[in-house]
Amino acid sequence: MDAWMEGPLTSIAYGWRLERTDGVTLGFTSHDADVAHNGLLLRASPGMQPTTILQSVGLDKDGLDVSGALTSDDIRADDLAAGRWDGAYLEIFLFDWADPTSGKRTLAAGELGAVSFTDDAFEAELIGVQARLEKAVAPQTSPSCRAQFCDAACALNSARFRHLAIIASSDDNEISITAPLGIADGYLAYGTLRWLSGPNCGATAKIAGHIGRVIHLYNAPFHVAKAGDCIALMEGCDKVMATCAGRFGNGANFRGEPYLPGNDLLTRYPGGN
């Protein structure tokens, strides 16, 4: 046991460290005053409490629900609804607020799952690190590419396929930009749009396709897009061998087996169609 936990525990408090996927990091504590801990200011939030924390010594998944009051501008209902906290990393720990440098005891850590909220409170499920063990140990064969566009396996330079644009107008999930991008229609399909300014700043959206200066999103942004908002557009890939080799000249890095027979081969018989 940590030395600081062997004595009286009258100055022990919960600490929370929340890090969004866009890099925004916040800290909270159940103590009634702000505390600086490991270079992060933990803001006093006595209303934030975890439920019973289940911890195991084996490979079973740990789990808990976390909840808190929406009493701070740091966690807003609009951001929760827009999905900006989805997949955020959360660490919950105990520490001594009277001596913050003495250490900490981590109780749970993982990613935030589904987040729900009411007018004045939120609740989220914590997905522990053991959930990673449920993923396949080795990649499974597939006719389509298993790499993510421009990741280490794909090996393409993402800067070649990123474009900046300014919104001219919007209508639900259809966005018009002020100038053409200089790429063929459809090249943005399967790509992403990131808002660089305006009320949606920091949020991302999946692109269904584009024709000329008109971009179609799968879902409308949480806030209405306004003329003058800046956006970053990333082209996409349909993960087909013909596209990889023809459009990108990257067939050598294709991470799929397009010519491997499928399971329907097992049902064939001589003379069958």
* Chain segment 90-143, per-residue pLDDT in tens: 888 889 888 888 888 888 788 877 677 666 666 777 776 666 666 677 778 889
| Res 183 pLDDT > 80 | yes
Q: Are residues 41 and 102 in the same domain?
A: yes
Here the CATH number for the domain that contains residue 236 is 2.40.30
Q: Are residues 121 and 164 in the same domain?
A: no
| Res 268 pLDDT > 80 | no
The pLDDT of residue 269 is 66
Q: Are residues 114 and 179 in the same domain?
A: no
Does 269 reside within a domain?
no
- Rounded Cα–Cα distance for residues 207 and 212 (Å): 14
Domain end residue (candidates: 134, 167, 198): 134
Would you place residue 58 in the very low, low, confident or very high pLDDT band (cuts 50, 70, 90)?
very low
Classify 157 as helix, strand or coil.
coil
- Rounded Cα–Cα distance for residues 181 and 223 (Å): 24
Does 38 reside within a domain?
yes
Q: What is the mean pLDDT of the chain?
A: 82
Would you place residue 168 in the very low, low, confident or very high pLDDT band (cuts 50, 70, 90)?
very high
Q: Are residues 191 and 232 in the same domain?
A: yes
| Res 244 pLDDT > 80 | yes
| Res 63 pLDDT > 60 | no
| Res 260 pLDDT > 80 | yes
Domain extent at residue 61: 9-134
Q: Which residues, other chains included, contact 6 with Cβ-Cβ below 8 Å and sequence gap of 6+?
A: none
